[in-house]
Amino acid sequence: MTIPFLREGERLVRVHRFRFTGGRGCALGTTDILVEEELGAVADPATRCQARPDHPTRVPRPHLYVNAETVEGAVSACIDKMRGGTAGDLFFPQV
């Protein structure tokens, strides 16, 4: 897909937000997942979408960033990496 109004060096990204709910002990825990989908020409289609856990004040651990060709693939791979973790496992404290 070519986006004619972009200039060299510019890119257009579609942002998707998902909420993952899973069991945490005897309660439910929720984690937001952010997926950035790059539109237009991509050098490597396997990196078109990047997913990561999302938090308003904390940065996710680098090993939780996931690349995929599709939004669904990125969300699925991110959930697989997050499954069973706690908030402390997912995020570094804000510096």
65-80 pLDDT, tens digit per residue, is 999 999 999 999 999 9
The reported pTM is 0.81
User: Can you tell me the distance from the alpha carbon of 2 to that of 5, in angstroms, rounded to the nearest whole number?
Assistant: 9
- Cross-sheet strand order for the sheet of 66-68: 12-24, 27-39, 49-54, 66-68
The helix (H) or strand (E) run that includes residue 87 is helix 87-90
Judge whether residue 94 has pLDDT over 70: no
